[in-house]
Structure 1
Amino acid sequence: MYDPHQRVILLVEDNSDDELMTLRAFRKSNIHNPVVVVRDGAEALDYLFLQGRHAERDPDIRPQVVLLDLHLPRIDGLEVLRRIRANEQTRMLPVVILTSSKEERDLVEGYQLGVNSFVHKPVDVTAFFDAVRQLGMYWLVLNELPTPRRSA
């Protein structure tokens, strides 16, 4: 079980190769935070909003950051982002789009919906590891979040 004070990373990724590469990059960068991996947008929303198979998870364990792919089964990443920003409990949760998409409209819509950062997945493994290391250092070490308010 996770320590509620640890900074959990929510990785929303349907590609198992990208998932493994991201997890390996975290390990190689000495980022040992717990990583919760969900495979589609619907499961990401279930995790964030304590629904479905995640209904019984500890509500005090909140992600420090969401690494969100765009092209996901069931519910795409932009719709996940839209719902995160529409909910009072998750509105300020940092979301980083980590995608292979090079579409300008994805970039523009992501920022219009309130994404905190938009990162293209580098094709080169070394560049990918470096990008993940930098993301981890910033979002898990340097960035500070306000304490979440409890719902009444």
Structure 2
Amino acid sequence: MSANNRRTIVILIADDDAEDRMLVKEALDESRLKNHVQFVENGEELLDYLHNRGKFADKEKFPTPGLILLDLNMPKKDGREALKEIKSDDFLRVIPVVVLTTSKAEEDILRTYDLGVSSFITKPVTFASLVDVMKTLSKYWFEIVELPKP
């Protein structure tokens, strides 16, 4: 995949915690990732974004992401419910979803893989570890893996 293609892939991050969003953004910046990053704060916003509804209606401004980083524990509609809807939608199901959560529950790990998640990552405790995870994640998803065109 050319560097040009990699830049066009939008990463959509669904996380209700403002501090976590900031840390993930800083970790992505630190890992020199050139992808455009969008944030939503709960599962309802995630699905509105993916369907270009409401404040996300502008498809130019809110393009289909090439990768979703999903927190499981969010208000309104949690990550588990959102994941189930994404993976049951013929158009959305091809988007890789990586769970990035504080949960270490075996049930969450099994259930999300059963629903079709691509990877399950427990959020690292330190910023340095988060940067390492983001570097590895970006190398894997944007340099090694072939992703479907959004």
Q: Normalising to structure 1: TM-score of the pair? A: 0.89
| Alignment match, 2:87 | 85
| Alignment match, 1:56 | 58
Gaps of 5+ in 2: 1-6
For 2:8 and 2:16, locate their aligned partners in 1 and report how far apart those are by CA, in whole Å. 24
1:47 aligned onto 2:27: no
Shift of 1:59: 8.8
Q: Contact 2:14–2:70 (CA<8 Å) still a contact in 1?
A: yes
Give the share of equivalent positions with the same residue, in percent.
Answer: 39
Structure 1: which amino acid aligns with 2:102? Answer: S
Moved more, 50-59 or 65-74: 50-59
| Alignment match, 1:120 | 122
Shift of 1:58: 2.9
| Alignment match, 2:135 | 133
Q: Normalising to structure 2: TM-score of the pair? A: 0.90
- The alignment of Structure 1 onto Structure 2 pairs a total of residues equal to 145
Shift of 1:145: 1.9
Moved over 4 A (4+): none
Gaps of 5+ in 1: none
After superposition, the C-alpha distances for 1:75-124 in whole angstroms (9 at most, x for unaligned) are: 00011111111111111110000000111111110000000000000112
Considering fraction of residues, name the structure with more helix. 2
For 1:47 and 1:36, locate their aligned partners in 2 and report how far apart those are by CA, in whole Å. 10
Root-mean-square deviation (CA, aligned residues, Å) is 1.8
